Structure 1
Amino acid sequence: MKDLANKTYNIPVEATLDVIGGKWKTLILCHLTYGPKRTSELSRMMPAITQKMLTQQLRELEEDHIIIRTVYNQVPPKVVYELSELGWSLKPILNLMCDWGEKYMQELPKSGKIGQ
């Protein structure tokens, strides 16, 4: 987890962005709101992400206690990621982001900004 004792945020949204900021973390969290996923499932759902980046983002989310990583003792090893209680508390934020994105995508054709 980040060393928050030595971290200074000017406004609360900075803390939020520090934890979930960036393209991939938010997408990972959105996918996990539909239930636990294996790494390979997440990779298929986000074909543009590299394996290295996916692993890095999952580790950071785990370090921040947003997701839980469960390793099943079997051959081959099975690893499953799911939202923690703290991660589930982000669901309303993710829902609002999805709602806003949907409205924005509907406005693009009206504004003539597609492909610009």
Structure 2
Amino acid sequence: MLKNLKKNRFWLFKALETYALALYFIVKRSSGIFSLDGYGYLEVLDDPPFIFMLACVGTVALVYALWDVKNLYYRPVMTGLLTCVWSIFFLSFTMTDILVGVYVGFPGIFAFFVLTEMVTEIMAKG
């Protein structure tokens, strides 16, 4: 397992970042920060089904990082799920920032760099 962690440490960190995004929404949901008048992008995405989806996608990436699964197109499915999740949340953070009037907020910047790093890694390893 340690050999797989050394080999797949990039995907381990992506799994942990996905879990951190779910934790971010749990904390922000508790404080009621996403109460925008008429702009409910993040209000929809911080509901329990979407937080559960984030945890599931993080678990899929964590399983790949720990056990290096090589069958049934696991890696393309895992990378596709991670890219889709981070694209959705990057776009929702960006749209909310634009509608609120903030130039670019920290969550949007963070999601952009995670998404860019992931796409770069996928393209480099092919």
What is the TM-score of this pair, normalised by structure 1?
0.31
What is the TM-score of this pair, normalised by structure 2?
0.29
Greater Cα radius of gyration, structure 1 or 2: 1
